[in-house]
């Protein structure tokens, strides 16, 4: 197993557990960031669709001089 080969390199069981914990935490962080990315992508897609489907504003009577 991997534990036997890593512990053969001189790592203590506590060090092995810490390495495993660090790897799990890194993977969890990566998955959380990916989840946030897809959530914001969906929100922006819905917002873009709502803007595209919104009714156009009515035009004013004419061109005004000035501001």
Confidence grade of residue 59 (pLDDT, cut at 50, 70, 90): confident
Cα end-to-end span (Å), the chain = 77
CA distances, 65 to each of 47, 58, 62 (Å): 35, 19, 10
The residue ranges of every structural domain in the chain are: 2-52
Joined together, the tokens standing for residue 50 give 């709502």
Global pTM reads: 0.63
pLDDT tens by residue, 37-56? 999 999 999 999 999 999 88
Burial label for 7, CB within 10 Å (0-12, 13-18, 19+), is middle
């Amino acid at each position: 197993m991997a534990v036997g080969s890593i512990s053969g390199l001189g790592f203590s069981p506590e060090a092995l557990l810490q390495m495993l914990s660090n790897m799990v935490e890194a993977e969890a962080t990566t998955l959380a960031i990916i989840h946030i990315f897809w959530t914001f992508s969906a929100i922006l897609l819905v917002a873009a669709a709502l803007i595209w489907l919104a009714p156009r504003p009515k035009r004013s009577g004419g061109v005004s001089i000035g501001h």
